[in-house]
Amino acid sequence: MTLINTLSRLLASADISLSDQQKQQLVGYVEMLNKWNKAYNLTSVRDPEQMLTRHILDSIVVNPHLQGERFIDVGTGPGLPGIPLAIVRPDAHFTLLDSLGKRIRFLRQVQHELKLENIEPVQSRVEAFSAEPPFDGVISRAFASLNDMVSWCHHLPAKNGAFYALKGVLPDEEIAALPADYSVDKILRLTVPQLEGERHLVIIKAI
């Protein structure tokens, strides 16, 4: 079964409809990730079919819950969830932030090969990055605890902006430890076809 067929089947079971071009871009990204992974060690997932579930679908199920047009993916690594989200949300702009040069080199190559005009890879530590103008959403996947996320990224969201934390099992202790000037706006349980284990999206806003 080709990657595009596998992806189409996964999307159908998740009730997500994408254009042929978007599917081609998502598969192109997985193929690049697989190729560069051998030298750059970008992800522990070695099998492209597994990447479709554990990286692509796991990222794009968040899309319906994002509000706004300007997002920053902090600690993006090889571009997750930023690249898949940028492909399925072409009218939004994504800044992809990571402190490691090899990851940013990979992301620039992805940007070039897939002709993604709505991403901007940036090499910087999050504390040192100045958000001008600020963002509608600050997204992180497996980046840090919720407390660290709002502490390190407090300067990034706009006044009505939100933090979107992609988590596995619901982090009750992290939620309880949030600083007093932040509150949980929503907790959404996400369903990712063929992925074992729980997935949650925790949306946080400043009070």
Domains in the chain and their CATH numbers?
3-206 (3.40.50.150)
Helices (H), 41-155: 48-51, 58-60, 82-88, 101-113, 146-152
80 known member of a binding site? yes
31 known member of a binding site? no
Q: What is the pTM of this model?
A: 0.97
pLDDT of residue 128: 96
What's the rounded Cα separation, in Å, for the pair 71 and 119?
A: 10
pLDDT of residue 142: 80
Three-state secondary-structure class, residue 72:
strand
pLDDT of residue 97: 98
pLDDT of residue 116: 98
Closest CA to 163 of 190, 203, 117, 108: 203
42 known member of a binding site? no
141 known member of a binding site? yes
Three-state secondary-structure class, residue 189:
strand
174 known member of a binding site? no
Are 118 and 90 spatial neighbours (Cβ–Cβ below 8 Å)?
yes
Each of the 207 residues of the chain gets a pLDDT tens digit; together they read 799 999 999 999 999 999 999 999 999 999 999 999 999 999 999 999 999 999 999 999 999 999 999 999 999 999 999 999 999 999 999 999 999 999 999 999 999 999 999 999 999 999 999 999 999 999 999 888 999 999 999 999 999 999 999 999 999 999 999 999 999 999 999 999 999 999 999 999 999
